[in-house]
């Protein structure tokens, strides 16, 4: 018993996990725990004794509460459960797509997407989800976009205002925009700020939604996209965008170096 970590020890027992989760919001008496938990009386008493011995919970005159250790264990278990829920919703997607391109702090926060759906293009649909993305972008007044691949439709749909920002990848600038017959940029944005980045994922964020695209392990750029509309998903998307935006290069500066 003493050799395992606190998280492993609590997580190894559904009763111990339930006790810790039930104590997350407030102190509870033993009789309250017995009523709240779907376990036998003896199992609950054993769990309370074991958790107290491990320093996860503390008995007070008002009942049982989490210790500092218990609070950290509870937070870790909550993240694990949230990750399990994220993966269970679309296991085939996460198995075949490379989430490692998302910076580690934001991979850890992926469960903040909450309820989401994976949109996939119909087989043999050459345009894929491009029209769907264009429709989403055109329906909002402003948005932040990370685009590692080029689509003229995306470029035309991008809002042009001071509340919108566009991040394009170096290959898009070097291999596409700089080689266009009509110049390095077919559309000049008067207000939208444009920068250049090296990231390998696509991201769209507005006040209504977050759209995430990561590559597949077979090297192809996928048409499948993760779409979420919760407030926490939008906050996650905004934080991720700010992270990559801060490390990016203004387009004018990048072009001057070419």
Which residues are 249's β-sheet partners? 196
Burial class (CB in 10 A: 0-12, 13-18, 19+), 1: exposed
Q: Do residues 62 and 185 share a domain?
A: no
Q: Do residues 122 and 241 share a domain?
A: yes
Tell me which residue range forms the domain holding 29. Answer: 6-76
Domains of the chain: total: 2
Domain boundary among 42, 76, 110: 76
Rounded to a whole number of angstroms, the distance between the first and last alpha carbons of the chain is 62
- Quote the pLDDT of residue 1: 46
Domain boundary among 28, 45, 76: 76
CATH number assigned to the domain comprising residue 47: 1.10.10.10
CATH number assigned to the domain comprising residue 179: 3.30.870.10
Domain boundary among 44, 76, 108: 76
- Quote the pLDDT of residue 189: 85
Q: Do residues 23 and 66 share a domain?
A: yes
Structural domain contains residue 53: yes
Q: Do residues 43 and 149 share a domain?
A: no
Q: pTM of this prediction?
A: 0.84
Structural domain contains residue 245: yes
Residues in the chain with pLDDT values less than 50 = 1
Q: Do residues 119 and 176 share a domain?
A: yes
Structural domain contains residue 132: yes
Q: Which residue has the tokens 């309370």?
A: 48
Q: Do residues 109 and 24 share a domain?
A: no
Q: What is the pLDDT of residues 68-124, one digit of tens each?
A: 999 999 999 999 999 999 999 999 999 999 999 999 999 999 999 999 999 998 755
Q: Do residues 242 and 122 share a domain?
A: yes
- Quote the pLDDT of residue 171: 82
- Quote the pLDDT of residue 126: 54
- Distance, CA of 137 to CA of 129 (rounded, Å): 12
Q: Do residues 113 and 219 share a domain?
A: yes
Give the residue among 250, 252, 154, 245 at the shortest CA–CA distance from 195.
Answer: 250
């Amino acid at each position: 018993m003493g050799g395992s970590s606190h998280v492993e020890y609590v997580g190894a027992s559904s009763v111990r996990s339930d006790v810790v989760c039930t104590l997350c919001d407030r102190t509870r008496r033993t009789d309250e725990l017995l009523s709240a938990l779907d376990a036998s009386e003896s199992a609950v008493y054993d769990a309370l004794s074991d958790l107290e011995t491990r320093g996860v919970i503390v008995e007070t005159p008002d009942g049982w509460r989490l210790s500092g250790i218990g609070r950290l264990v509870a937070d870790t278990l909550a993240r694990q459960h949230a990750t399990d829920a994220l993966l269970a919703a679309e296991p085939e997607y996460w198995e075949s797509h490379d989430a490692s391109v998302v910076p580690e702090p934001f991979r850890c926060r992926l469960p903040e997407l909450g309820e989401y759906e994976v949109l996939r293009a119909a087989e043999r649909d050459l345009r894929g989800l491009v029209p769907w993305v264009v429709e989403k972008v055109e329906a909002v007044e402003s948005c932040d976009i990370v685009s590692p691949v080029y689509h003229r439709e995306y470029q035309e749909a991008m809002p042009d205002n001071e509340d919108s920002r566009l991040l394009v990848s170096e290959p898009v600038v070097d291999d596409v925009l700089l080689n266009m017959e009509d110049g390095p940029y077919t559309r000049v944005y008067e207000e939208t700020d444009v920068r250049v980045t090296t990231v390998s994922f696509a991201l769209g964020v507005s006040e209504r939604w977050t759209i995430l695209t990561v590559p597949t392990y077979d090297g192809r750029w996928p048409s499948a996209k993760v779409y979420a509309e919760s407030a926490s998903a939008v906050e996650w998307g905004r934080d991720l965008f700010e992270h990559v935006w801060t490390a990016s290069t203004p387009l004018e500066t990048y072009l001057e170096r070419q």
